[in-house]
Chains A and B, each alone.
Chain A
Amino acid sequence: MGYGTLPDEPEFGAGSDAPAPVAPLSDRAAKVVRTATSGIADNPHVEYLLRLADDRLILGQRLSEWCGHAPILEEDIALANIALDLIGEASLLLAHAGELEGHGRTNDQLAYFRDETAFRNVQLVELPNGDFAETIARVFFFSALQVPLLEQLERSTDATLAGIAAKARKEATYHLRHAGDWMLKLGDGTDESHARLQRAVEHLWPYVHELTWGDAVDDALAASGVAADVRLLAGAWRSSVERVAQAATIALPADGWKATGGRIGRHTEHLGHVLAELQSLTRAHPGATW
């Protein structure tokens, strides 16, 4: 059995043994072509707002998956409430980003018509919900950063951002308290709940570092007084997490592999599926009003 007659080998190019003729490289042949995930931002201010907004949109989307399926009716209410707060904040932030960008994109266009690589959320928020312990631990880790971050953003030189931050800080304070209460209940409750929470914390730990990851965008905005440098909040985050973990008798894992890339559009494989669901109807009817 053979593969039939092989085609004649080309004299040069792919598959040829003959040395290729040397041609000068074109302008584009050997350089880093800028793409959605190059980590270069034209407008750091817009980029920063997208980071804040996308964290909230995607975590809100994930939390809303719980609706009707929570372990107790009170949690159906609470998780929906947190999701609603986060999506509300995302909506305001995206609207502001669209205005500053100046290309006429609305908050809906930014939410529904950007692809995965244009999203700027941390990978932490795009992971599947997992069980209730993972869901709670994620809200806890996320909110533990948002409270000090939003406190700083309330003093932003961007008055619109400052206004959104003032509203969001009150909400984040509630989210942190709610998730923190459950950290205590699950950590202190039964052997099973303790084991599940410990496992959840270990599973999520590689993803928490990205919350306080920063780059030139943060440098630029810290310089202009629009935003605080999120890297400087790592200590405050760590001590508030340690306090609750200790009370919940949960051991924080040693740092190992650290996820990175969400802030420049390099995500886990999960985000595409989140967006496929979020955007499906809207993209099926481009231009329609709902």
Chain B
Amino acid sequence: MTMTPTVQSTPEDATKLAAFEARIAAGEHIEPKDWMPERYRRQLIRMMSQHAHSECVGMLPEGNWITRAPSLRRKMTLLAKVQDEAGHGHYIYCATETLGVSRDELLDELHAGKAKYSSIFNYPTLTWADIGVIGWFVDGAAIVNQTVLAKASYGPYARAMIRICKEENFHKRQGYEICAVMSQGTDAQKAMLQDAVNRWWWPSLMMFGPPDSASSNSDELLRWKVKRYTNDELRQRFVNLTVPQAQAINVALPDPDLAYDPTSGSWRFGAIDWNEFWAVVKGHGPLNRERVAARKAAHDDGAWVRAAAEAHAAKRAARSTAAA
């Protein structure tokens, strides 16, 4: 990844930094051509590329069910959803390029297994109910994160999030509707739904990242409005939103410690298995190898196609120059 090396602070930088922080404090957006601290740029490249990679890798678990979707309507909405995800990935890669890093560089990192993406996509989609539950939990969690990111200080990212959130809301409603219909269905459908909820609940809570006590760089990110709330605050918000939804369709959340706390008005939940979280982050989830290999294979198998498009564009340019 091409990134400007960190330079020694100079008095001039201190002045710029003060002005930068003042703009952020005043609620202004930082735009691509504005001065920004190197750490801010790096943080954004990290977050935005992870987000873009997540959209692309996320096509795989859901794509797994497009050809088997149980009705034409479900097939179409799932195709449209996965297409949206490709669109989000494309949009965020473009927004990331405004920070001076190319999509090719970011993809090389992903295919080399060096870039991170949301760990949730390293779990398999075993039944159709997984497609409903992913929409409900995973898109639901993404909305909680992204609604906040839409107010982030970096203009291109914030604007991307506003557009993306609208579509994610649609996806979440579709996912929840799949679950709601199954919850009223046959015994086999109800069992399928409960099984998917059991498998996806904890990994979904892990989507908000490590607990605040173990998160290394939250303070600066909060001050620079790269993030607006801590991981634990967002996780709690997701739980509070989701528990009543689960009750409404009569599915059990797999946590015997789940209890309402009238003082805080929040749902307390049991201990998250952070060992599992870190294992998956470090590449030891059920499908880490397979997901990266699938994306890399698509990219490698498509090299001749991209080469053809470039060669054609170059020949066309040469022909029009010759004709002029």
The number of chain A residues with a CB under 8 A from chain B is 48
Q: Identify which of A69, A90, A280, A288 contacts B298 (C-beta below 8 A).
A: A69
Are A189 and B63 in touch, CB under 8 angstroms? no
A81-B5 Cα distance, complex, nearest whole Å: 41
Q: Chain B, 58-80, contact with A by CB distance < 8 Å: what is the 0/1 string?
A: 01100100111111111110011
* CB-defined contacts of A71 to chain B, threshold 8 Å: 298-299, 301-306
Are A288 and B308 in touch, CB under 8 angstroms? no
* CB-defined contacts of A70 to chain B, threshold 8 Å: 298, 302
Are B67 and A73 in touch, CB under 8 angstroms? no
Query: A152: CB under 8 A from chain B?
Result: no
Query: B56: CB under 8 A from chain A?
Result: yes
Q: Identify which of B69, B76, B90, B304 contacts A192 (C-beta below 8 A).
A: B304
Are B301 and A73 in touch, CB under 8 angstroms? no
Are B308 and A290 in touch, CB under 8 angstroms? no
A125-B119 Cα distance, complex, nearest whole Å: 37
A211-B69 Cα distance, complex, nearest whole Å: 28
A77-B315 Cα distance, complex, nearest whole Å: 26
Within 8 A of B (CB), among A133-147: none
* CB-defined contacts of B185 to chain A, threshold 8 Å: 288-290
Are B128 and A281 in touch, CB under 8 angstroms? yes
Q: Identify which of B59, B184, B301, B312 contacts A189 (C-beta below 8 A).
A: B312
Are A84 and B79 in touch, CB under 8 angstroms? yes
- Given known pairs A67-B82, A68-B59, A80-B86, the reply for A282 and B70 (CB within 8 Å) is yes
Within 8 A of B (CB), among A55-75: 61, 64-65, 67-75
Are B72 and A111 in touch, CB under 8 angstroms? yes
Distance in Å from the Cβ of A188 to the closest Cβ of chain B?
Answer: 5
Are A190 and B68 in touch, CB under 8 angstroms? no
A27-B194 Cα distance, complex, nearest whole Å: 56
Are B181 and A289 in touch, CB under 8 angstroms? yes
Distance in Å from the Cβ of B188 to the closest Cβ of chain A?
Answer: 6
Which residue of chain B has its CB nearest to the CB of A73? Answer: B90
Query: B89: CB under 8 A from chain A?
Result: yes
Which residue of chain B has its CB nearest to the CB of A69? Answer: B298
* CB-defined contacts of B184 to chain A, threshold 8 Å: 289
Query: B178: CB under 8 A from chain A?
Result: yes
Which residue of chain A has its CB nearest to the CB of B127? Answer: A281
Distance in Å from the Cβ of B159 to the closest Cβ of chain A?
Answer: 20
Are B60 and A189 in touch, CB under 8 angstroms? no
A69-B76 Cα distance, complex, nearest whole Å: 18
* CB-defined contacts of A282 to chain B, threshold 8 Å: 70-71
Query: B189: CB under 8 A from chain A?
Result: yes
A12-B80 Cα distance, complex, nearest whole Å: 65
Which residue of chain A has its CB nearest to the CB of B132? Answer: A290
* CB-defined contacts of B120 to chain A, threshold 8 Å: none
- Top 9 A-B pairs, shortest CB-CB distance: A71-B302, A189-B308, A193-B308, A68-B59, A71-B305, A80-B83, A68-B63, A290-B70, A76-B86
* Interface pairs (19), CB distance under 8 Å: A67-B79, A67-B83, A68-B59, A69-B294, A72-B302, A73-B86, A80-B79, A80-B80, A84-B80, A90-B72, A108-B71, A108-B72, A108-B73, A186-B305, A189-B309, A285-B70, A285-B186, A285-B188, A287-B186
